[in-house]
């Protein structure tokens, strides 16, 4: 990006920050209310809205627990970020025999070959531990290196209480996480379309391989999505997820569900067997009943005068645009007028057009965001910003418009006047001399008729 564009972006952000930070927050007449009337058996739980990361419900969400096989969500995330689906995975002796005897498996053999896609299905649907091990080796070369990648990714995602020590989730004192951290990982993974497709698949068949002449049928073990052992826990809005269980971890479960256009991620940890499904269903129902999602485009400008009543820019701004794909999630009892916003600048972004973010809050909770998009400053003629009217809690300042062509014309006129003044000063001595000669010539005494007669008389006497 050239210097001119950087300066333009800096100038744009100065305008927007100054405009927004001077606005008064709109205060709700009613007290802020956050629903909290549900509880679960699980020792830790969280429900997070998938698009915004808004936490709708939490119970001991930062407590550390063993994750068991929901670990494989992180494994799948790293694999999908680093591999093509048609790459060949070869099962090593460590992958086949290095996992706990009797743990989840699809009975692969040493030297067996499958594609990355087939191995992912084996890992996510049947929770096959040898598939998780083989994928880790395929990505990083050895398990220690893959574990390093897992922990680096956890840190990148903002996990605070996580340390991985294997790719499958088998018991290990150095392998732990929290409900909040797993929600972050699960949310990031679900943004990958292939991951969403895999965890939402009920049945899959691995074709014959170099070691198995018969196809291998797979069934999704998540009982809210698929009739695996019983249909008792089927949930119509379930999109899929990942199960987990060990004696020390208890039941762990990650589930995705969507209703009325809102996708939620639920994590329960240290739960009792089958209660993980009941807890998750109850949490989903409570959150779907008590929260709503709003698009920024629906509330960015709602007054008759196109006034921004929520603390963001007017739709008329040509230099900065608020990304209309941004959303907020708030309780159904709340109004969009109760939401406040804060500008957070970006010092670095993969998308050069994004220069900041409007982060929305309600009841001291983060409820969503919208990116601030930098438009083409070279083609924009004017950059208007407006403030909130007094009746809506704002400053009441009038609409401000900066018209650069007119400003340029004024500057040219001023420069022309300055140049004229300097020219006149440089010629001042010549002007004064000209004025003196002019005045002298016109102020010399004129001869009267009597003077002329005397002069003529004197000339005659001299001639005599």
Annotated binding-site members for substrate:
242
Q: Around Cβ 218, how many Cβ atoms within 10 Å?
A: 21
360 burial (CB, 10 Å; 0-12 / 13-18 / 19+) is buried
Give 210's DSSP letter. S
CB 23 within 8 A of CB 387: yes
For residue 149, what are the contacts with CB-CB under 8 A and spacing of at least 6? 78, 139, 140
Beta strand 177-178 with 64-65: parallel, antiparallel or unpaired?
Answer: antiparallel
Strand partners, 204: 218
Annotated binding-site members:
242
* Residues annotated as part of the active site: 69, 72, 127
Interatomic CA distance for residues 9 and 3, integer angstroms: 10
* H-state helical runs in 379-446: 404-426, 428-443
CB 370 within 8 A of CB 312: yes
253 burial (CB, 10 Å; 0-12 / 13-18 / 19+) is buried
């Amino acid at each position: 990006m050239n210097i001119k564009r950087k300066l333009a972006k800096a100038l744009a952000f100065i305008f927007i920050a100054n405009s927004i930070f001077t606005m008064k927050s709109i205060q709700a007449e009613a007290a802020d209310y956050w629903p909290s009337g549900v509880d679960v058996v699980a020792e830790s739980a969280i429900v997070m809205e998938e698009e915004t990361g808004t936490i709708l419900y939490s119970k001991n969400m930062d407590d550390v627990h063993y994750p068991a096989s929901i670990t494989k969500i992180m494994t799948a995330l790293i694999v999908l970020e680093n591999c093509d689906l048609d790459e060949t995975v070869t099962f090593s002796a460590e992958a086949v025999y290095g996992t706990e005897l009797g743990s989840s498996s699809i009975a692969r053999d040493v030297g067996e070959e499958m594609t990355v896609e087939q191995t992912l299905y084996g890992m996510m649907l049947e929770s096959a531990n040898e598939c998780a091990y083989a994928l880790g080796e395929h990505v990083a070369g050895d398990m220690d290196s893959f574990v390093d990648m897992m922990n680096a990714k956890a840190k990148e995602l903002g996990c605070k209480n996580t340390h991985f020590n294997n790719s499958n989730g088998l018991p290990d004192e150095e392998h732990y996480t929290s409900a909040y951290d797993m929600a972050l990982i699960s949310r990031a993974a679900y943004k990958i379309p292939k991951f969403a497709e895999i965890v939402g698949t009920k049945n899959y068949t691995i074709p014959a391989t170099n070691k198995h002449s018969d196809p291998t049928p797979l069934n999704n073990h998540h009982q809210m999505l698929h009739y695996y052992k019983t249909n008792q826990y089927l949930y119509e809005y379930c999109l899929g997820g990942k199960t987990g269980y060990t004696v020390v971890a208890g039941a762990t479960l990650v589930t995705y569900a969507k209703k009325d256009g809102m996708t939620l991620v639920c994590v329960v940890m240290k739960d009792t067997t089958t209660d993980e499904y009941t807890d998750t269903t109850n949490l989903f129902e409570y959150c779907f009943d008590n929260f709503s999602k709003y698009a920024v485009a629906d509330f960015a400008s709602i007054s008759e005068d196109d006034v921004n009543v929520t603390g963001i820019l007017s739709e008329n701004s040509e230099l900065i645009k608020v990304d209309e794909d941004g959303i907020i999630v708030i309780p159904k009892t709340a109004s969009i007028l109760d939401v406040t916003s804060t500008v957070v600048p970006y010092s670095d972004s993969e998308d050069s057009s994004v220069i900041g973010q409007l982060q929305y809050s309600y009841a001291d909770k983060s409820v969503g965001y919208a990116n601030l998009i930098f438009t083409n400053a070279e083609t924009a003629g004017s950059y208007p910003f407006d403030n909130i009217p007094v009746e809506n809690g704002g400053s009441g300042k009038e609409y401000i418009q900066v018209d650069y062509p007119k400003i340029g014309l004024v500057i040219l006129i001023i420069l022309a006047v300055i140049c004229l003044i300097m020219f006149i000063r440089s010629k001042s001595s010549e002007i004064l001399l000209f004025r003196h000669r002019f005045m002298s010539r016109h102020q010399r005494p004129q001869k009267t008729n009597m003077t002329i007669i005397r002069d003529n008389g004197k000339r005659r006497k001299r001639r005599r």
